[in-house]
Structure 1
Amino acid sequence: MPETSPPPLPSPVAIGVTVFRPTPEQVAALLARAEAEPRRTIVFDNGGLPPEAAARLRAGGGLVLSGDGNIGVGGALDAIARAAAAAGAAQVLLLDQDAAFTPDQVSDLEAAMARLRGSHPPPAVVGPRPEAAPGRKAPAYPRRPGVPDRGGLVPVEFLATSGSLVDLAAYAAIGPFRSDFFIDGVDLEWCFRAWARGHACWMEPGTALPHRVGAGVIRLRALGIEMPRQPLFRMAAYLRNSVYAWRLPHVPRRWTMRQATYLPLQALLVWADSGYRPAVAMRLAGAVIDGLRGRLGPPKGLS
């Protein structure tokens, strides 16, 4: 955690970045971004940020936070949100270590949030349109039924945390991100909870963020299905958290029914991509059982 009280924020928006074992190129991009950004940068180090990079961030007025080892995405985002609020920020823009998002794009989201002032339900988050980085798959944000567009913004069921501008007053009312989900589904669950608690999630289609999740794409061309190729522990966490979320009252039944059809196909696609290895099938089946039994926390095989 920061050793001294930081000076007042130069902007009502703070920039929060989560990092885990960043590459030298990612560290260089993070430093360059923080130095070009007039807003306060808050970095949560889940492990692997070089000490010299942390020192350079602090010297430039940034905050560098850490926990006891890797506490996951949910825990890191909560620590960033708390630090931003304590420093006097009204909003925090969340990014992961791969995100290429410029200060001007942050301003676009600030302007979008300003257009939503006085709207009902009040905004919880505004994020950019997702795009696929080369060789990757972009997430899809389903439109929220029954809610009209407003000021060129599109109401969505959920959006990825990376690139999202979160209103901190709404965050306080909605509650923290689920640290027990650890890595996957954190954003989806929080956005559904935001809607259930009287807040809205919006996409700004006029600005875009390329997504670099996974290492390539797995495709089932016959059914038109594609998904990021992820480490097995991440797919297992995604399955576990998705199945567990079905019991949550704020997760809409329409989403549960959609996933009940789609998740088995995704699991089959991952198994086929592994060469139909029995160990992979057992791991995925075990993840479903963990979700049904509510066994959450850090996923097995995390490395």
Structure 2
Amino acid sequence: MQRPDPSADTAVAVVFFRPSPEQVARIVERFAGRMPVLVYDNGGIPPEGRARLRDAEGLGLLGEGRNRGIAAALNALAEAALVAGFSRLFLLDQDADATVETARALGQALDRATGESPLPALVGPAPAPKPGHKAPAYPLRPDLPPREGLRPVEFLATSGSLVDLAAFARIGPFREDFFIDAVDLEWCFRAWARGWSCWMDPGTAIPHSVGRGTLRARFLPVAMPDQPLFRMAVYVRNTAYGWRLPHVPARWKLKQAAYLPLQIGLYWSRHRFSPRVLARLLAALAQGLAGRLGRPADAPP
């Protein structure tokens, strides 16, 4: 008897922001006509890329071509998938090196995780190394054993993750006032706090890249993505705000309270101890502690 395709009830969801024509072509070539695809235009899709998306089989294009932030884009894609009757959503960004086979493997992993409590909200791949970039680390969730070869993790990157849309509807949307950084982290901690779970499949891996490369401290074990100033400031702001949230565990707050000053110092040194850079980051820290979130004034349109 033929086993059902675990991706049959799944849509692919891609957020584009100033993609290259090659990035658009890769998504179309790998997924269009093989799985339903929903694309959100956060701005900057080149004309040839937009034409290719319009002509692609089974592809829906959302968004107004302006940068609303990753959280708003993901929420719009999830809402569209729910309305269309899909039960799972395979989240990707334009850099993700994933295939239909990746989605199927994660669908099988999500099936294996289902049936025991806490029920899975999402499952994602292990991070594969990418030259010049620091691979993300997903801390294990304490006091919960592996399940069917899957590892319980505190959080996962949204890109590459397969989300159960029934769980998404119960847990709630991604925080749009975070705009971009730590969106996935906050949502996963909220999922755990509401009785759901997040899992990593070590047998499935895709490379992740954040920023323009990696910054490494000379004498300390600190490494972080090299990002534009507005991205670093949003990361600082959202991390500081996370210290106010009751569903973020104290163990994570303590770790970040120790690590964030080192990251700020490393980023500041990378920019030759610029007073402007330090002032921007300290202002972001104050905004986070005060709960002043939303779209950054210097975010690209």
Normalising by structure 2, we get a TM-score of 0.94
Query: Within 5 Å, which residues of 2 pair with 1:147-226?
Result: 147-226=144-223
Of residues 45-54 and 243-252 in structure 1, the stretch that sits farther from structure 2 once superposed is 45-54
Corresponding residue number in structure 2 for 1:262: 259
RMSD: 1.3
| Same amino acid, percent of matched pairs | 56
Structure 1 CA distance for aligned equivalents of residues 58 and 150 of structure 2: 33
SS state of the match for residue 107, structure 1?
helix
Runs of 5+ in structure 2 lacking a partner? 1-6
Task: Report the CA distance between 1:258 and its aligned residue.
Answer: 0.4
Q: Distance in 2 between matches of 1:148 and 1:67?
A: 44
Establish whether residue 46 from structure 1 lines up as the match of residue 46 from structure 2.
no
Deviation, structure 1 residue 176: 0.2
1:68, distance to aligned residue in structure 2 (A): 6.8
Q: How does 1:1-303 map to 2 (within 5 A)?
A: 11-35=8-32, 38-59=34-55, 60-67=57-64, 69-303=66-300
Instruction: Give the number of equivalent residue pairs.
Output: 293
Q: Determine if contact 1:34/1:57 at 8 Å carries over to the other structure.
A: no
Tell me what 1:5 maps to: none
- The Cα of 1:52 is off from its aligned counterpart by 4.5
> What is the CA-CA distance between 1:182 and the residue it aligns to?
0.3
The amino acid of 1:176's aligned partner reads P
Deviation digits for residues 166-207 of structure 1 (CA, Å, limit 9, x no counterpart):
000000000000011000000000000000000000000001
Deviation (angstroms), 1:141: 0.2
Cα distance in 1, alignment partners of residues 292 and 190 from structure 2:
20
Q: Is the 8 A contact 1:54 1:64 kept in 2?
A: no
> Aligned AA for 1:40?
P
1:11-67 C-alpha deviation (Å, 9 max, x unpaired): 2000000010111221222222233x6210100000012355334334312110004
TM-score, normalised to structure 1, is 0.94
Aligned partners of 2:31 and 2:99 also within 8 Å: no
Unaligned ranges ≥5, structure 1: 1-9
**Using the alignment, how far apart are the partners of 1:12 and 1:51 within structure 2?**
31
Alpha-carbon distance in 2 for matches of 1:104, 1:68: 30
Q: Is the 8 A contact 1:27 1:53 kept in 2?
A: yes
